[in-house]
Amino acid sequence: MLILATLACYLFLQTQIDSLSFGGQGSFSSIDIIVISFLVSVIIAIVAVIAGVGGGVIFTPLLLAFTSFDTLLIRSTGLVVAMFSGLISTGPLMRKGLADIKLVLLGALPIIIGGMSGSFAAIHLARQYGDQSDGIIRLSLGLMLILIATIFVFKSGASDYPVRKKSDNFSQRLKLRKTYWESSLSSYVSYRATNVKLSILLFLLIGFTGGFFGLGGGWAAVPLLNLVMSIPIKVATGTSGVLLALGNAAAIWPYINVGALIGIIAAPWMLGQVIGGLIGASLLSSLKASVVRALLVAILFGSSLKLIARGIEALTGIQIPLL
């Protein structure tokens, strides 16, 4: 049912979302827009928490691809969506042992610094190039989404429970190891972090990219924790949600300072993330993320094609008949 509902929302966004404009000639009233935004946000939050990517990875590409809203407005709202999906799921995830607080403390500072740097860079680009920056953002984000979707394709073969490797000296000094109860196996699973110094630099890069495009960093934080640091996939997903809450809370402030966040647009998306985040967190411990991740890959590939087409159209004036 969740997959069917998500596909229905995606098809709706493809065919109808261009009419979602305040004061325009669209077929929806302001109340309709608020209700639809809330319902779509709930489903986005459920999928995002289960996949461990943050709602911004779904929200920002869809809105940039299928609407003509200002890119700064969409990206600022996307960070709010990503922040709330992580923030609301934090409590349940930590109570279930699916979020490692030591890993959160390790990655929080570089993600926060990178996120704020990315936000300032995005605002500077908008001021420097004006309307042309919209085309640059859509085109570059479309190309980046192809990379993100490809990462998820290859990541699908990653081990849910990586083979325990010998940790480096830095990891041993920080005591980055833990044991948690895996309900699907009815047993305890132990792990220890590896490649810690490299991961700190990658967290900084993830934060910058998330702040610049308004995606959040969950799309890359989960593969980093699982593939590079050898953290079990469920713990990586849970820890990613907490990191999103911290990093995006900082990255949103540069957008707020320039007036790029409008309350009437952001509010229904924020409320939807609250409801959907709680539902997604309750499902995470017992639900396999592989099916949801496959659906997410399809959505990312579809959005990337539309973004590339709109970016080329904005920069060159060449009409590309796509979707």
Label residue 321 by pLDDT band (50, 70, 90). Answer: low
- Does some domain include residue 19? no
- Does some domain include residue 323? no
- Does some domain include residue 21? no
Model confidence at 279: pLDDT above 60: yes
Overall number of domains in the chain: 1
Q: Residues with Cβ < 8 Å from 276, sequence gap 6 or more?
A: 41, 42, 43, 44, 45, 46, 48, 49, 55, 85
C-alpha distance from residue 230 to each of 82, 84, 104, 169 (Å): 24, 27, 15, 16
Label residue 200 by pLDDT band (50, 70, 90). Answer: very high
Q: Check: CB of residue 201 under 8 Å from CB of residue 31.
A: no
Mean pLDDT, the chain, whole residue set: 76
The pLDDT tens digits of the residues spanning 19-55 come to 444 444 445 667 877 888 888 888 888 877 676 566 7
Predicted confidence at residue 19, as pLDDT, reads: 45
Predicted confidence at residue 158, as pLDDT, reads: 55
Predicted confidence at residue 12, as pLDDT, reads: 47
pTM of this prediction? 0.73
The pLDDT tens digits of the residues spanning 79-91 come to 888 777 666 766 6
Neighbours of 82 (CB within 10 A): 36
- Does some domain include residue 132? yes
Would you state the torsion angle of the CA atoms of residues 43, 49, 55, 58, taken in this order, to the nearest 10 degrees?
-70
- Does some domain include residue 322? no
Question: What count of residues does the chain have?
Answer: 323
- Does some domain include residue 169? no
Domain that holds residue 85: 2-13+31-156+175-316
Label residue 285 by pLDDT band (50, 70, 90). Answer: low
- Does some domain include residue 58? yes
The pLDDT tens digits of the residues spanning 141-165 come to 888 888 877 877 776 555 666 666 6
Model confidence at 201: pLDDT above 90: yes
Tell me the sheet residues that pair with 192: 177
- Does some domain include residue 69? yes
